[in-house]
Amino acid sequence: MLKQKIFYILITAILIYGCKKDPNSPEPTPTQYGAYVLNEGNFGQSNGSISFFNLEKKEIENHIFEKVNGENPGDVVQSMTIIGDNGYIVVNGSDKIEVISMKTWKKVKTINSPAGSSPRHLLPVSETKAYITNLYTASVSVLNLETDEITSSINVGLNPDEMTSSGNKVFVANNGFGNDHTVSVIDITTDQVIKTIDVADNPTATFTDNNGDIHVLCTGRYPAWDNPDDTGSKGGIYLIDASTETVKDSLSLTGFPTRLVYDGETTGYFLRCSAVTSYSTETVDIITDTLVSGNFYSLSVHPESGDLYLFDALDYSQNGLLKIYSAEGIFQDSYETGIIPHKAIFLLSE
């Protein structure tokens, strides 16, 4: 009987003890002003997240969306645009835009993007209208901000990515994953493409400078793996005159540059060859080739201090790091974020 008792004790122990309990952590107290760090998460795994960096306390709180709303934002947290009191979080792989209150971080609404559209970026173009680029449908959706409904779609180039506005025009970078080399120009009033501008291969990132001109970063095309003679193509920065919709200056770049941010004055930054490079937005010339060296995934710039927020995705499967450098390239501090951090959206007190 002893053996049977041992057996029953073992079974009972397993059933009662069960398994180690799931970990958890308490809900945070929302703080409106600060930097919202977007963590893409791994494609297909729905582990994107949003971190909040308290600029005063120099503290970071990860997974704020899950902690407040009890669910994950979705697959690839691609971008976030603050319009009024709301934040529009574009969740690329989940084909949706989550709208949260910036005061409470609570989810206000979910805007469903067309199935398979893979939305990338949202840009308000008027008080009642915003555009959303759709990576896989070669189109830009028109969003009615009053009803939060998508009302129409504008055909653009292949795999449209970032966009920026100037006057009543929006300039859309069509990356084509290296197979496109154009910028589509959309008239905001008619929602029509009025021009397509040629740039270098793989235009991915854009911004509008203080002069109202458009800066477009082209990564260039990567070499084809099955053709050893193919060296790919050069990228570059293209300066487009928004009024004439023509390229008025350019800077050819090797090393497949990526990302493009603007300090709001006269300096732009991008990543190339494991370094942060700065350039003059006035002359489109390199200022410092290696301002900060390191294998960063992406970067943002604080609109007031000019500090560089550099994102290290480490091995792309573990939590990444936010590394803050001064505008002069001096390291200040480092914070753990979510998986594949890539952008900081700043909401500063007035």
Cross-strand bridge partners of residue 260: none
Among positions 186-205, residues that touch other proteins (CB under 8 A) are: none
Q: Does 44 bind other proteins (CB under 8 A)?
A: yes
Q: Does 234 bind other proteins (CB under 8 A)?
A: no
Least distance from other proteins to the Cβ atom of residue 173, Å? 14
Q: Are 236 and 221 in contact (CB under 8 A)?
A: no
Number of residues forming the site for other proteins (CB under 8 A): 65
Taking residues 144 to 173 in sequence order and writing x for each that binds other proteins by CB under 8 A, - otherwise, the string is --------------xx--------------
Q: Does 10 bind other proteins (CB under 8 A)?
A: yes
Half-sphere exposure of 100 (CA within 13 A, CB side): 24
Pairing of strands 160-166, 169-174: antiparallel
- Indicate which single residue of 231, 293, 316, 332 sits in contact with other proteins (rule: CB under 8 A): 316
- Indicate which single residue of 31, 112, 250, 290 sits in contact with other proteins (rule: CB under 8 A): 112
Question: Is the Cβ of residue 165 or residue 174 nearer to other proteins in the bound state?
Answer: 174
> 117: helix, coil or strand?
coil
Q: Does 18 bind other proteins (CB under 8 A)?
A: yes
Least distance from other proteins to the Cβ atom of residue 4, Å? 6
Least distance from other proteins to the Cβ atom of residue 261, Å? 15
Half-sphere exposure of 272 (CA within 13 A, CB side): 25
Q: Does 176 bind other proteins (CB under 8 A)?
A: yes
Pairing of strands 182-187, 192-198: antiparallel
Distance CA 321, CA 52 (A): 13
- Indicate which single residue of 51, 79, 94, 281 sits in contact with other proteins (rule: CB under 8 A): 94
Cross-strand bridge partners of residue 269: 261, 278
Question: Is the Cβ of residue 267 or residue 337 nearer to other proteins in the bound state?
Answer: 337
Phi, psi of 282 (to 5 degrees): -80, -45
Distance CA 180, CA 138 (A): 11
Pairing of strands 192-198, 308-312: unpaired
Question: Is the Cβ of residue 114 or residue 124 nearer to other proteins in the bound state?
Answer: 114
Cα four-point dihedral sign 104, 107, 108, 114: positive
Q: Does 339 bind other proteins (CB under 8 A)?
A: yes
Q: Does 7 bind other proteins (CB under 8 A)?
A: yes
Least distance from other proteins to the Cβ atom of residue 189, Å? 30
Q: Does 226 bind other proteins (CB under 8 A)?
A: yes
Half-sphere exposure of 271 (CA within 13 A, CB side): 20
The helix, strand and coil proportions of the chain, stated in percent and rounded to the nearest 5, come to 5, 50, 45
Q: Are 53 and 344 in contact (CB under 8 A)?
A: yes
The two three-digit tokens of residue 57, written as one number: 């306390």
Which residue stretch of 39-47, 82-90, 123-131, 182-190 sits at the interface with other proteins (rule: CB under 8 A)? Answer: 39-47
Which residues contact other proteins by CB under 8 A?
Answer: 1, 3-4, 6-7, 10-11, 14-15, 18-25, 44-47, 49, 62-63, 66, 71-72, 74-75, 93-96, 112-116, 136, 158-159, 176-180, 222, 225-226, 256, 258, 271, 295, 297-298, 313-319, 336, 338-339
